[in-house]
Amino acid sequence: MVIARSAEAKEVGIPMGEPLFKIKPLVKKFNVQVLSSNYTLYGDMSHRVMTTLEHFCPDIEIYSIDEAFLNLHGFERRHDLTDYCINIRKTVLQWTGIPVSVGIANTKTLAKLANRYAKRNKEHAGVMNLIDNPDKEKYMKATLVEDIWGVGRQYTKLLTKNGITNAYEFSQANDKWIRKHMTVMGLRTAFELRDIPCISIDYSHPSKKAIISSRSFGKVTSNKQDIKEGVAYFTTIAAEKMRKQKSAATLLTVFLRTNPFKDSPQYHNGVLCKLPVPTDSTSELITYAEKGLEQIFREGYLYHKVGIMLTGLVHTDRTQISMFDPEDRVKMATVTDLFDKINKEMGARTIFYAASGIHRPWKTQANLKSPKFTTSWNELLEVFAGEKPDRKEDQTLDLDEIEGEYFDSDDNDEYDDTIKDIVTHLNPDPEI
């Protein structure tokens, strides 16, 4: 499915949200380069960009993988803000190869608006300053309501119906009307467009309140075993993410559904499991997730997607224990720690619960994935002077092949010893 496009792809008419098979002719005709998403690579590059930005301004809110707000308050005394940001842009490009655009304004909403023009209009060189800008009203009038940060599809419909079509008109609309129809969120947006800051910059990295892990299957399946594996797999992923932010879950939701784009019989359902004691243990969570699945699974449907969600998150240091808890939590924590350490040092899924599947036939397709150039030794970019030497292994190894090599290798004894070494190194207690 198309989830991001370059300017060139937009130009030849590649639409957002279309499944690839529907746009094959366009792709062929214009030789459009198609890539499966590679979040490891994007995460690493994002981190490099953000680190670069911190050189210029320590007060930074990392808003998403590709956006950040910098608080330049006070910088105007020593710098021309536009020049300063042109320099930021230049440096990010030089250090990371990533082109960025910068919008400058007194509020976040206006900065986002400015950014749109910085990005689109070549003449602005990627930077656009709306502070004391004589053309500010002109730009606001040229911005459709649907392009305002905080105005989505539904509000666009509502506003258009009421004769409000651009950002300027929205900023001038009646407060009571906005409050009534768009709640305080809408009113905050309107205030921000009037240059009154209502959305503060959040420098803290608040921990997540919910963690979801779900995926569409590469192929629909009615096989309960596959679905059970999927549930265990997604639970593993979510639990690892949760442990990284030192949280434990009190609630676990399991959900599954058939393919809504098909004419086949439809079914979707979810169930919320209350955990007796907040936990971050993968094995315990898998147990509950499987119990949840038992409750909602129905035979005879072609399932397309399953997932789990962890909520009611509390800090691991502040969990309420139970007097009647049958589990040995100390032992469980030791196992979990070791599990995470091995996977951190040896690579993801070096050790995993068999419940989460080995071959995972239901795996999502990602046939066109780019290499993890910056985070995997096996996938480093190679540069050759002259002709490329003959090599057995291809540079863009498929994950399956990597796993295959690993497990099929003849020297399994050596492999076992390595594992043993690592385990004793990490935890010298022979009991564990």
Partner DNA sequence: TCTGGGGTCCTAGGACCC
Which residues are at the interface with DNA (CB under 7 A)?
Answer: 1, 3, 17-21, 63-67, 112, 148-156, 183-185, 206, 208-216, 219-220, 237, 241, 259, 261-262, 272, 304-305, 307, 364
Contact 116, 147 (CB under 8 A): yes
**Shortest approach of DNA to residue 313 CB, angstroms?**
9
The residue length of the chain stands at 432
**Shortest approach of DNA to residue 78 CB, angstroms?**
30
Quick one: 216 or 378, whose CB is closer to DNA?
216
**Tokens linked to 400:** 């399956």
**Shortest approach of DNA to residue 23 CB, angstroms?**
11
Where does residue 343 fall: left (phi above 0), alpha (psi -120 to 50 degrees), or beta otherwise?
A: alpha
**Shortest approach of DNA to residue 6 CB, angstroms?**
16
Environment class of residue 279 by beta-carbon count within 10 Å: exposed (0-12), middle (13-18) or buried (19+)? buried
**Shortest approach of DNA to residue 378 CB, angstroms?**
24
Quick one: 84 or 273, whose CB is closer to DNA?
273
Quick one: 310 or 342, whose CB is closer to DNA?
310
**Closest C-alpha among 95, 106, 32 to residue 69:** 106
Quick one: 202 or 393, whose CB is closer to DNA?
202
Quick one: 160 or 424, whose CB is closer to DNA?
160
Quick one: 106 or 156, whose CB is closer to DNA?
156
**Tokens linked to 178:** 């906005």
**Closest C-alpha among 48, 419, 32 to residue 427:** 419
Quick one: 180 or 331, whose CB is closer to DNA?
180
Quick one: 20 or 346, whose CB is closer to DNA?
20
**Shortest approach of DNA to residue 304 CB, angstroms?**
7
Cα 87 from chain centre: 29
Torsion over CA: 123, 128, 134, 135 (sign) = positive
Q: How many CB atoms within 10 Å of residue 152? A: 10
**Shortest approach of DNA to residue 405 CB, angstroms?**
27
In this structure, the dihedral spanned by the alpha carbons of residues 398, 404, 406 and 412, taken in order and rounded to 10 degrees, is -170
CA 368 to CA 332: how far, in whole Å? 39
**Shortest approach of DNA to residue 3 CB, angstroms?**
5
